[in-house]
A and B are shown apart, each in its own frame.
Chain A
Amino acid sequence: MAIPDLNTSDIRSLVPNSQDVLELDRGGQKIVFSATIDGTRYAIKALRANPIDPAIGDESDVLDDVTARAQREVETMQQCDTPHLVKMGPIGLTTGTVRGQQVIYYTEEFIEGQNLWSYLRSHGPMDVQELAILGTHIAQGIRAIWQFSKIHRDIKPGNIMRRNSGEFILLDMGLVFDLTDESLSVSPVGTPKYFSPEQLNFVQRRTVLDFRSDLFSLGIVLYEMSTGTHPFAPSKGLTTWEVIGNIHNLHPPAPSRVVSTLPSEFDRVVMRMLGKKPALRYRSIDLFIRDLNNLMGGS
């Protein structure tokens, strides 16, 4: 689905008390702005609402219902106390119409920093200390979501921000899942390069995915941030199906085979996260965090 076609003045008309609106980024499905509201800087995000099945009846009613439900989910998750999930801003999920486009928009705390995708491009691969911090922070985010028996489902470099202060924050929490479940069909786009094998198992649909699926995706992120190479898309130009095949079958070389300064303990953690089956990864997020702590202490 296409991201909505909005400019800064559209945002000012949707959010009348916004000032100094700047376009920040375009993700897979959202257009992201930053703006000052009541003296504080926030991110404003907008996505295009897909037309709802006309058979259901009045479109905007259904849309409002779905949005309200998603809003409640988001609010619940906001209550968990971790600094590693992005916080909502003053405007929760809201539907609106601009220049004939129906959009959903909301605000978030503005994070001063870079997403991991651009961080990797500007700074190159991370060292073990930083990788361990990255892993720990995002694991805390995953743990917070899992407390509500939910999983993130879309952990990838573009959805992780590195604050300039060095903290890591997970974006897009819960949203993808809760919305895709509904007729809104805000489906994940692009290649499922960061999906776990069980997420990609189209034949034998597992009834329940658990946090271990998110751990796999985080494993790919750690691999990529440590080596600069995606473990299942080592060369450019692979088709989506080739990448999916690799996620299912390829056993990539340990990170230290790519970057020889990486310690073997790091190899062990990452290779374990990339286990093809959930049971081969970590039974609990705490065990994973413990291994990362050892990594920090050890080097």
Chain B
Amino acid sequence: MSLLIQCGYGPSAKIENAISEGVAKGVILSPRHENPEKLEKRAGALLRDNPGATVMMDPQYYVATLPNPKDGKLPYYDYYARNSGMTRTQFTNRRIHSIVKDCLSFQANLEAELSYHMSPTVLCDDFRDYWSQIVLNMASEAMDLQDGETGLLVSLLIGEGAFHSRDAVEDFADALTQLTDVAGFYLVLRRDSSSLDHSPKPEILTNLMYLVYILSEINQFEVWVGYSDWCGFMLEAVGANGTAGGWFQKERQFSMSAFQPSRGGRQPRPRYSSIPLLANPLLFPELEDIIRAGLLDRVLSGSPFDAALVGRGKIDEGAWPRDVEARAHWYSLSTLSDSIGKHESIDDRLNACSRLIRVSRELHTQLSTVVNFERPTGPEHLENWQSAIVLFKSLTGL
């Protein structure tokens, strides 16, 4: 099981550090944030310095159907530039063929040999609508056009709403599993922007887990889940080969609002990444309150970065720069993923997840006397996760 870094705005040495430290096993590059030359260079350097690292790029073609998107550097990429501002009816078979071809040959022609090639996709908000047909057409076109040397991942960007119907999920899985000649899938859940907490509703998470399970465990495809953040360990429990997390909130969970003109938001407040809490408490005031109550050691993740916080009466703001925050978070995610990956069977892995969540809920309860967690810190997400696991088990008879 591997944690990958989901690239975003302002990549820096933190990526290389996290990989060389062995915390992350690779990256998912973001063309929107880097022009082709830089992206090619980065891929080459990462592969040279870390043989065995998983390096791939999400083509992010889904941006091409948004009106006036904030698409960053994407227009420097031919496959995007030639085919952007697309409406539904423009996706003829011929056009799909050329989009997929452009996109795959861009990846194949890079000097760096990517670990996988990824097919382009458009947003799928409903497994039974016209767009979902375009998604499937693009996928099967990619299967036919792949070069045969590098494994192909079919990329999928699926809206939360699509996961409401289990029946529709199964039908979609029927179609996906007809793509027999692909290495696997790169799956991203598009969050409804209003609900950017860690957890989708239990039934949605259950159905996402179910899709991962069908593709990986039952049908033996590789499944990589982008933007999975804290939920990654549960997805790995049901069969995902790897999950990914970014550095800022925008790269942790996927929301279309990232591609819309921003309202000039302020810098997000600094947060700690706590494995025992399975959450990111705010440094101020949440973590500070915990320190004041003398309970810091209950929430520490055990990373080398903790030294900056331990043994001081109060938190020195400079001690927790952005890069450290990101690297400490990857440390949490990869530690979690490793602890789940130790277990052989899905059943054992899910039980391990449940135990972690249960312990974490108790800790939240205990701490509630000394600190007032804001909603994003929890513990609501833990209840959602726990129910999702219960639902998943009854659904699959595990």
Q: Which residues of A contact B (CB under 8 A)?
A: 208, 210, 272, 275-284, 287
Question: Once bound together, how far apart are the Cα atoms of A75 and B155, in whole Å?
Answer: 41
Is there contact, CB below 8 Å, between B180 and A284? yes
Q: From B176, B218, B220, B221, give the contact of A280 (CB < 8 A).
A: B218
B145-181 interface (Cβ within 8 A of A): 170-171, 173-174, 176-178, 180
The smallest beta-carbon distance between A151 and chain B, in angstroms, is 13
Most chain A Cβ neighbours within 10 Å, of B171, B173, B174: B174
Given A272-B218, A287-B220, residue A279 in contact with residue B176 (CB < 8 A): yes
- Neighbouring A residues of B178 by C-beta, 8 Å: 208, 210
Nearest B residue to A279, CB-CB: B173
Neighbouring B residues of A280 by C-beta, 8 Å: 170, 214, 218
Per the 8 Å Cβ criterion, residues 205-221 of B in contact with A are 214, 218-221
Q: Which residue of B lies closest to A276 (CB)?
A: B170
Which 4 pairs, one residue from A and one from B, show the smallest C-beta to C-beta distance?
Answer: A279-B173, A283-B219, A277-B170, A279-B174
Q: What chain B residues lie within 8 Å of A282 (beta carbons)?
A: 219
Contact pick for B177, options A208, A272, A276, A283, CB 8 Å: A283
Question: Shortest Cβ distance from B129 into chain A, in angstroms?
Answer: 15
A279 and B170 contacting across the interface, CB-CB below 8 Å: yes
Question: B174 near A278 (CB under 8 angstroms)?
Answer: yes
Contact across chains for A277 and B171 when beta carbons are under 8 A apart: yes
Residues on B with beta carbons closer than 8 Å to the beta carbon of A283: 177, 180, 218-221
A-B contact pairs, 13 of them (CB 8 A): A210-B178, A275-B218, A276-B170, A277-B170, A277-B171, A277-B174, A278-B174, A279-B174, A279-B214, A280-B170, A280-B214, A283-B180, A283-B221
Residues of chain A within 8 A (CB-CB) of B218 are: 272, 275, 279-281, 283
Residues of B in contact with A (beta carbons under 8 Å apart): 170-171, 173-174, 176-178, 180, 214, 218-221
Q: Closest chain B residue to A272 by CB distance?
A: B218
**C-alpha spacing A276/B169, complex, angstroms:** 13
Instruction: Choose among A272, A275, A280, A287 the residue with the greatest number of B CB atoms under 10 Å from its CB.
Output: A280
B396's closest neighbor in chain A, by CB?
A280
Q: Which residue of B lies closest to A283 (CB)?
A: B219
- Compute how far the CA of A278 lies from the CA of B214 in the bound complex, rounded to whole angstroms: 10
Task: Report the separation of the CA atoms of residues A278 and B178 in the bound assembly, to the nearest whole angstrom.
Answer: 9
Q: Which residue of B lies closest to A277 (CB)?
A: B170
- Which chain B positions have C-beta within 8 A of A281? 218
Contact B220 A279 (CB under 8 A): no
A55 to B215, CA, bound (A): 50
Question: Which residue of chain A has the shortest Cβ distance to B175 in the bound complex?
Answer: A279
- The distance in angstroms between the C-alpha atoms of A275 and B221, with both chains bound, is 18
Alpha-carbon separation in the docked complex, A277 to B220 (Å): 16
Residues of B within 8 A of A287 (CB): 220
Closest chain B residue to A275, Cβ basis: B218
Q: Say yes or no: A277-B180 contact (C-beta < 8 A), given A283-B220, A283-B221.
A: no
Taking a contact as CB atoms under 8 Å apart, the answer to whether B219 and A277 are in contact is no
CB distance from B61 to the nearest CB of A (A): 25
**Residue of A272, A278, A279 with most chain B CB atoms under a 10 A cut-off:** A279
A208 and B175 CA atoms in complex are apart in Å by 10
Docked pose: A287 CA to B219 CA in angstroms: 9
A284 contact set on B, CB distance < 8 A: 180
Cα–Cα, bound, A279→B185 (Å): 15
In the complex, which residues of chain A have a beta carbon less than 8 angstroms from the beta carbon of B180?
283-284
Q: How far is the CA of A283 from the CA of B214 in the complex (A)?
A: 10
A277 to B175, CA, bound (A): 11
Is B173 a contact of A277 with CB atoms below 8 Å? yes
Residues of A within 8 A of B214 (CB): 279-280
Nearest CB in chain B: distance from A18 CB, A: 45
Residues of A near B176 (CB, < 8 A) are 279
Give CA–CA (A280, B166) in the complex, Å: 13
The CA-CA distance from A120 to B220 in the complex, in Å, is 34
In the complex the two chains form, what is the Cα distance from A278 to B172 in whole Å? 11
Most chain B CB within 10 A, of A272, A277, A282, is at A277
**B44, chain A: closest CB distance, angstroms:** 34
Chain A nearest Cβ from B176, distance in angstroms? 7
A210 to B175, CA, bound (A): 10
CA distance A210 to B177 in the complex (A): 11
Q: Which of B171, B176, B177 has the most CB of A within 10 A?
A: B177
Residue of A nearest to B170 (CB): A277
Given contact pairs A277-B170, A279-B170, enumerate 12 new A-B contacts (beta carbons under 8 Å). A208-B178, A276-B170, A277-B173, A278-B174, A279-B173, A279-B218, A279-B219, A282-B219, A283-B219, A283-B221, A284-B180, A287-B220
Alpha-carbon separation in the docked complex, A281 to B173 (Å): 11
Q: Give min CB distance, A285 to chain B, whole Å.
A: 10
A3 and B386 alpha carbons, distance in the complex (Å): 60
Q: Does the CB pair A278–B177 fall under 8 Å? A: yes
Q: Give B397's nearest chain A residue, CB to CB.
A: A251
State in angstroms the CA–CA spacing of A210 and B219 once bound together: 15
Q: State A283–B180 Cα separation when bound (angstroms).
A: 7
- Docked Cα-Cα span, A277 to B171, in Å, equals 7
Q: Considering the chains assembled together, what is the distance between the CA atoms of A282 and B174 in angstroms?
A: 11
A283 vs B221: C-alpha distance when bound (angstroms): 9
CA distance A281 to B214 in the complex (A): 9
* Cβ contacts under 8 Å, B171 to chain A: 277
**Inter-chain contacts of A210 with B (CB < 8 A):** 178
Taken together as a complex, chains A and B put the C-alpha atoms of A210 and B220 apart, in Å, by 18
- How far in angstroms is the closest Cβ of chain A from B234? 20
Q: How far is the CB of A252 from chain B (nearest CB, A)?
A: 13
Measured between alpha carbons, how far is A112 from B162 in the docked complex, in Å?
54
